[in-house]
Amino acid sequence: MAVKNAFYAQSGGVTAVINASACGVLQTARQHPEEIGKVYAGRNGIIGALTEDLIDTSVESEDAIGALKNTPGAAFGSCRYKLGSIHEHRAQYERLIEVFQAHDIAFFFYNGGGDSLDTAYKVSQMGAGVGYPVACIGIPKTIDNDLPITDCSPGFGSAAKYIATSVREAAFDLAAMSRTSTQVFVLEVMGRHAGWTTAACALAAEREGEAPHILLLPEVVFDEARFLAKVKEATERYGQCVIAVSEGVKGPDGEFLSASGLRTPSATHS
């Protein structure tokens, strides 16, 4: 088998471990010089391929590659850029294949969430369709932990720890002021269609009665009457109520509550 080059790119919201995944890809590729030559990283995700803005990682030392495990952010730059269907945006896919051919790239590693893995699949289809097959491998990253056939996305663990810690800290602040001030605290949590991250807020409670007292998941239709009853019950029983709500919670009509247009009234000062 002839030695071919690889392309790696980061995509979507940055997680605490996305650079560790990059490290894994680059180190593993270097262990197989009989199959993979250079690994090019796209600057700002798939955009780096479309604009042919590639970073040659082969010039970096082993120490530099290893340091990615402890590097925050997205070392090569990420993006939120979803490729449309091959039928409607064929020119973009043809451009990708053109760049891959120019740099002898036969492996594509895309590190991201659901949309990114969908892009990898479409590029694979396009390559096969034009007679330039590309091995496309999706590397899970999303904090939502909702990728099919994935037991645990690497981005979920750190997000779960962070959000649970945030809930616990906010609860301590609320408890300190609840007798004379605010008794209800609401934390909006990422997760438009999956409630994994919101559910992780429950890790903040070490015993019964500790925050969070209410979790609102996108998989469960919001019931206003039941919700208000639960808030009243918590404030009467514990003197406070901490609520973690997913950004994707929907009402009975199927619409996102966040799209209702309601806003908290501004405080008035005398």
Distance CA 145, CA 151 (A): 8
Neighbour-count burial of 180, counting CB atoms closer than 10 A to its CB (0-12 exposed, 13-18 middle, 19+ buried): exposed
Dihedral sign, Cα of residue 211, residue 152, residue 69, residue 47:
negative
Residues of the chain within CATH 3.40.50.450 domain(s) are 4-141
Q: What is the mean pLDDT of residues 144-158?
A: 88
Question: Which secondary structure element, helix H or strand E, spans residue 109, and what is its range?
Answer: strand 105-112
pLDDT at position 262: 65
Q: What is the pLDDT of residue 221?
A: 96
Q: In the chain, which segments carry CATH 3.40.50.460? A: 159-259
Q: For 72-123, what is each residue's pLDDT tens digit?
A: 999 999 999 888 888 888 999 999 999 999 999 999 999 999 889 999 999 9
pLDDT for the residue numbered 270: 35
pLDDT at 121: 93
Q: How confident is the model at residue 252 (pLDDT cuts 50, 70, 90)?
A: very high
CATH topology classification for 159-259? Rossmann fold (3.40.50)
pLDDT of residue 224: 95
- pLDDT > 80? residue 229: yes
Say which CATH class 4-141 falls into. alpha beta
Of 13, 88, 98, nearest to 49 by C-alpha is 98
Alpha-carbon 229 to chain mean position: 33
pTM reported for the whole predicted model: 0.83
pLDDT of 269 over the 70 cut: no
* Closest to 35 in 3D by CA, of 14, 4, 74: 4
> What is the C-alpha separation between 167 and 189, in angstroms, rounded?
10
Residues annotated as catalytic (active site), given as ranges: 144
